Amino acid sequence: MSDERVKYLSSRLDTLVDKRLPYEPYWNKAAEMCAERSKIYIKETDGRIVQKLFDSTAISALTYFCSSLKSIIAPSNQIYQRIKSSDPDLEKSGKVRAFLEYVNNMIFKFRYAARSNFSAESDIMFRQIGIYGQSPWMIEEDVGRGIWYKTIPMDEVYCDVNRTGKVDVVYRMYEMTAADAIKQFGNKATARIKERFDKNPSSKIRFLHAIEPRQDINLRKKDYSSFAFASYHVNLDDKEFIYESGYRTQPIVVPHFEPSAGEAYGNSPALKAFNDLLTINEMGKTVLRVGQLQANPALLASSNMQNAQRAGIAGAVVYGGLDTQGKPLVVPMQYGNNLSITVEMQNLIRQSIEAAFLKPLFLSLTQDKQMTAEEARKRDAEKAQILAPMAERISSEWLVGTVEREIDIIRAYGYFDDVPDELYSDGALKIEFESGVTHLQRAGEIQGLFETLESAISMSQVDSSILDRIDFDAALKVIADYKGVPSAVLRTDEQLQQLGEARAQAEQAKALLEAAPVLTQSMKNLKDAGV
């Protein structure tokens, strides 16, 4: 059985390797231009170091792309997602809203725990998206401690998609020393791994970790065979099966910058600017060479000049360097290169590269130009409409899968046991993103609401019945939802009803107290009249 699994997994890996093969030359070159895990400097046989990168435009554009994208999708200084019920009616329940907020807060508590490494690894993930167009992201349980996150190097991962276009098959081929393998696999380490460790603990071994949907789910069992995803570990060098396990949810998600239809891989800013990256690098090399020639040109000397070699020495006195008429016998060679035109062409190509990395678009969201509030709002809304599809796609592929995995792990710790009864009947959940782009998209709606309220209040000075048209309670809910106000701050419908009843009782009691003296006086008057 183990041999059959090794044979199947090896064959499947070969197929996935062939599918990824056409992308690799472009990925390698794009990585080189961005100085990411590339052979920028190569040592030749004589020990010389040959420089391969002559322009840093892609490096700076990638850095700006990553920091800007992270700031609008997952800013660490705010809550950028909310867990909600897929049934809007359940959101009316204060219990349901409070529980979902609790779930969301617990997710962020685990996500930004000291040991999780979420923030640092997400930086690496965005860099890989900028270069390759996608980046494998692992969400794994740190047993007994929480959750840890890891961006897997793109060169280790081979993916495939299902019929809906979602990545559901992830094969990771990686190397590890025998010593590290013993630590990782523990008592599951095979005899051959132990044998390699005994011979040389530092020897490298190739491994395969394959994750794919399980075809033979057995819900009657309580072990990994009932899980939705199968996990297999194989020692590729010795062609031996190590062990099988499983996951209830996919532990590796693969967000894309711009996916290709029906394929596991897609486009990236670096690939969009691929030709310009090659061009600007060659131009950088040319400008450097021309600048050196113009700053330190070759010298043309007379054939009968005996001290010509001294002409290249700074501060040297060259005897015999002038002819009888006082003209120099040594002159610099003129190359006729127009360096300014070359630099101008470089700048045009740099602008094209920066546009591919969306730098002008990101800059426009932060630049403080002199304009009215309405002009600024319209400008921001336009930029948000351009950024939204890309930001929503990455958020959906990255955060939705991450949240599913996080909830699965946190629930196993028993933190989500007190589920409201309403959610049991229709427990489907959804995720709403609260990124800067999302807020910019809704800014027009909220601005319109405020302007309408201001107009109504102003018009009510003439006709107070105008305010009857507006449901201020509903308006406040819309504003609070946009601002992400915690449910604990706003009273529920049940609490409002109780508050109204209490007020009515208080007013009734007050009326009775106010009427008591009159009633007492009336009764006294009747008594005095002998009635």
- 3-state secondary structure string across 266-289: EECHHHHCHHHHHHHHHHHHHHHH
Comparing C-alpha atoms, which of 239, 270, 465 is closest to residue 355? 270
Distance CA 411, CA 422 (A): 18
Token pair in block for residue 57: 């435009």
- φ/ψ (deg, to 5) at 152: -85, 135
Distance CA 445, CA 443 (A): 5
Output the DSSP codes for 445-492.
Answer: HHHHHHHHHHHHHHHTTT-GGGGGG--HHHHHHHHHHHHT--TTTSPP
Distance CA 159, CA 173 (A): 11
Q: pLDDT truncated to tens, each residue of the chain (531 aa)?
A: 678 999 999 999 999 999 999 999 999 999 999 987 665 555 555 556 667 788 999 999 999 999 989 988 898 888 888 888 888 778 778 788 888 989 999 999 999 998 999 999 999 999 999 999 999 999 999 887 899 999 999 999 999 999 988 999 999 999 999 999 999 999 999 999 999 999 999 999 999 999 999 988 877 777 788 899 999 999 999 999 999 999 999 999 999 999 988 899 999 999 999 999 999 998 888 777 777 677 777 777 777 777 777 767 777 777 777 777 778 877 777 766 666 767 788 899 999 999 999 998 887 766 555 666 555 556 656 666 677 778 888 988 999 999 999 999 999 888 988 888 777 666 578 888 876 666 665 666 677 777 788 888 888 888 888 878 888 777 777 777 666 677 667 776 677 777 777 777 777 767 666 666 655 655 555 556 655
Token pair in block for residue 12: 């499947």
| pLDDT on residue 384 | 64
Q: What number of other Cβ atoms are within 10 A of residue 452's Cβ? A: 13
| pLDDT on residue 499 | 74
- 3-state secondary structure string across 17-64: HHHHHHHHHHHHHHHHHCCCCCCCEEECCCCCEEECCCCCHHHHHHHH
| pLDDT on residue 336 | 63
Comparing C-alpha atoms, which of 477, 480, 450, 392 is closest to residue 80? 392
Comparing C-alpha atoms, which of 348, 358, 163 is closest to residue 268? 358
Instruction: Look at residue 79 and give its three-state secondary structure.
Output: coil
Q: What number of other Cβ atoms are within 10 A of residue 130's Cβ? A: 28
Q: What number of other Cβ atoms are within 10 A of residue 237's Cβ? A: 15
| pLDDT on residue 423 | 79
Amino acid identity, residue 306?
Q
Q: Are 147 and 413 in contact (CB under 8 A)?
A: no
Relative orientation angle of helices 373-395 and 359-366, to the nearest 10 degrees: 140
- φ/ψ (deg, to 5) at 112: -105, 25
| pLDDT on residue 467 | 79
Could you say which DSSP state residue 398 is in? I
Q: What Å distances lie between residue 117 and 39, 149, 155, 358, CA to CA?
A: 28, 6, 21, 27
Distance CA 445, CA 175 (A): 53
Distance CA 4, CA 448 (A): 65
| pLDDT on residue 319 | 76
Q: Are 416 and 410 in contact (CB under 8 A)?
A: yes
Q: What number of other Cβ atoms are within 10 A of residue 168's Cβ? A: 20
Q: In degrees, to the nearest 5, what angle opens at C-alpha 143 toward C-alphas 139 and 148?
A: 30
